[in-house]
Amino acid sequence: MAHALTTPDMTFEEHGPLARITLNRPEHYNALSRELSDTLVRTFEYVRDSMSIKWLVIAGAGGNFCVGDDITEFPDWHDANYAMHRCRYYQNMANQLEELDKITIAAVEGYAVGGGLEITMACDFVVAAESARWGMPEVDVGITPGWGGTTRMSRLIGRRLTKEINLIGALHPARRAVELTLWNRAVPDGELESEVQKLVDVLATKHQQGLRQLKFIINRGVEADLYTAQGFEALSASLTFAVNGMWEVDDADKGAGIRGFIEKNELWHARRGPAMDFWVDEVGTAAS
């Protein structure tokens, strides 16, 4: 039975903890129409809210991944304000994908250019067929990327290579994406699906809470200064001990404070009584 999120332009499947999105506009190389983008946003929200989905695979139908925004719709974008509105909408879509507490895998064959490449950069893993081609050709359309082609890319491969990819607009082989650490693996044509399944099988052996924590602290830490990032590491280490059963701290509340608030018991009054007016000055007077 088709999933409720499936549309003519996209299929969505759930197989236990594994979900799969397949972009399905093969006659348009799976270009992202506004309608398809809206479906993707709804699907990412569904996956975000699911407590059973643990891994998400994104692929394209018809031998191609995605060639990005459907440029044939651009004449209907009205004006610069609408273009900025759509750009922020797509940025939010990519951010939602990147922020999922699931492990995401882009399975790439054929073309992954423009917005299609931007989707892969928001995923945790990218596995591609050797014949796949990628790039940012926006420069030759007279436009610039809007949701990752300059920002995420520069964080992944650096400023100089990001300029090369964007300013020239060439289409590169999958192996170069692996060499640049933009993608993880390039596999022989015909082995893409089996390689993705092998990756899922390995991930399935892991402590899933550990995977969620690692994804969170890596994503957050790379955007922070060293000491802030180390704070995330330390908190994650503490949480790891807690979820593994070693959660009790001698002078922690163990839920007593919450119960005190609900019951308004002796502990609540013992804490709130001294605190309510402590160092609270009368209106119009200065602290002594």
Q: Are 121 and 70 in contact (CB under 8 A)?
A: no
Chain segment 62-92, per-residue pLDDT in tens: 999 999 999 999 888 889 999 999 999 999 9
Chain segment 265-276, per-residue pLDDT in tens: 999 999 999 999
- pLDDT bracket for residue 3 (50, 70, 90): confident
Query: Rounded distance, CA 7 to CA 9, Å?
Result: 5
What structural domains and CATH numbers belong to the chain?
10-204 (3.90.226.10), 208-243 (no CATH)
What local confidence, expressed as pLDDT, does residue 283 receive? Answer: 59
Catalytic-labelled residue, pool 45, 118, 263, 282? 118
Catalytic-labelled residue, pool 138, 164, 193, 263? 138
Quick one: tokens of 281? 């000055």
Mean pLDDT of the chain: 94
Give helix 266-276 / helix 256-263 axis angle, nearest 10°: 90
Burial of 40 (0-12, 13-18, 19+ CB in 10 A): buried
Query: Rounded distance, CA 193 to CA 201, Å?
Result: 12
Rounded to two decimals, the pTM is 0.90
Chain segment 90-112, per-residue pLDDT in tens: 999 999 999 999 999 999 999 99
| SS3 label, residue 133 | strand
Q: Are 59 and 21 in contact (CB under 8 A)?
A: yes
> 166 has which bridge partners?
none
The pLDDT of 193-201, averaged and rounded, is 98
Answer yes or no: is pLDDT of 195 > 90. yes
- pLDDT bracket for residue 284 (50, 70, 90): low
The pLDDT of 216-245, averaged and rounded, is 91
> Of the given ranges (2-16, 113-127, 274-288), which has the lowest mean pLDDT?
274-288
To the query of whether residue 118 is one of the catalytic residues in this protein, the response is yes
Other C-beta atoms lying within 10 Å of the C-beta of residue 41? 16
Answer yes or no: is pLDDT of 52 > 70. yes
CA-only gyration radius of the chain, Å: 24
What local confidence, expressed as pLDDT, does residue 288 receive? Answer: 41
To the query of whether residue 138 is one of the catalytic residues in this protein, the response is yes
